[in-house]
Structure 1
């Protein structure tokens, strides 16, 4: 018997992505996406993350500038630093310090599962000091350090236990990155060690940011772009072209891993946010299914004090007409959001 042809893609995606193996809407319209609820919170979720944060704050960063005099921009001087992260790993990051301006905020700027090849400044105000941490195991700065260097292997690394899962360890590493930035600034001027922090992260970075930010009172705001790791109950039913596919297949063979994922669900963590949070979700995305993204945004919407600012992009993890316009607006919106979250 000839297999039934897949249903046609919805407009305008049928014209934009005619060769797509999946419908990146997953059958959800805007109203359905806004109705997706966060996953159920497992017992001990908040206590576990708070304990991890308390433990992380006791670790000295021992940050040093490994390569000074890196690429200089018109607004920032860039260097490579190395600092102590979770489990004693020494991780590298780029740090950018404003040129001719006293920093008003420190930005921890994470990245997607492809790693990071260089700093990106589109969302960074001219008066922000920034650390661009590269997740354990990933390129360009930390390949082979503490985790595998491909997304399909990284997302499964340590999944045998809650304490060892690479997603959680990468979120914990963000706290260490913030400490490293503030310690470095404090050496220049002791008062800069008390700068407020703001988080920016996309995809993988958005997911681990949602996991990390709620427990760290140094952060005054966040932007989470197309965040992953949200609502595993749904994600595990949805084939995708991103790292979630490796997780889906793994859990099918190892159902006990579902208990580990429950403590690494970004939609659950989002309900604990207490700072203004901007979430950018995509209506179409075969890489990170939109229902998972919106579960994170809707979790923020439920969180007292988080003041959700939601932006809906036409598509995610894809090139499409109007993308540059949407991105430019999003970049400007993050810079404006940072300015609004800073103490007066």
Structure 2
């Protein structure tokens, strides 16, 4: 009888043990456009750390670095198909799918107040509700927008005025509004794949590139340029997207967990980025003492700001009938937040 009980107990225990042994964490794949150590990587690592901790290891986040899963267009398609759960994609690229998101390509559209921008990038009604249908048509869902820092210019010549940009070939993303924005600022915009930028700068095929200071350092653009110009005309913004069908298939509490964590990480990183910018700038100037760093004063910035006014009207024309509504709604949100938070 005791022997029978022992076998009975063992028989019940074995399936449970096998079940426990066979249990595996759910895996989410997360692609970024750049290499390890860049701001995008730090954002992804922070998201990974928080999600895995909040789910007690039931979810594992695997990060794939620039080019591993193809181009930004490839990553976007994989997200829409549900083969990739998250991707960090530049807003310039997303503008090809949802024209309204090119709003962030308008120079001087964001606030000078970091707290205001954190709210605009995580819970703007104009962006997250007004553009939701546009993203859904492509199978995508916008989860968060964040700043990788200011869009500084690594250049082969000094720039202090719009006239200094005459015949200046500025590498830009393949974005219709970015082309117009940099024309308005005075340059000759030159779309070019990111992987070709270093060689193009080295061979003087282009005169400069707009990138976060972290990327200027990580991608070694400072090695082949002589000037780093801070016009503070716009922030270099990135988006985190997921697949609409995949997200809708998650339990409600898991959806809320992702939303909350994205907001937490965005606010955390946007507090960290100004400090990181200074660290990367110090590294550039230390490793290349001959590099000239130019920070435009307010009078110089006003000359560029005046040029950017016409870009707003081009945005309205590109987006279509509701373009003015999008622009006015966003600016109203910005102004209201500035009054509240100042």
Q: How would you bin the TM-score normalised by the shorter chain? A: under 0.3
TM-score by length of 1: 0.26
TM-score by length of 2: 0.26
Higher helix share: 2
Structure with higher RCO (Cα < 8 A, 6+ apart): 2
Which has more radius of gyration?
Answer: 2
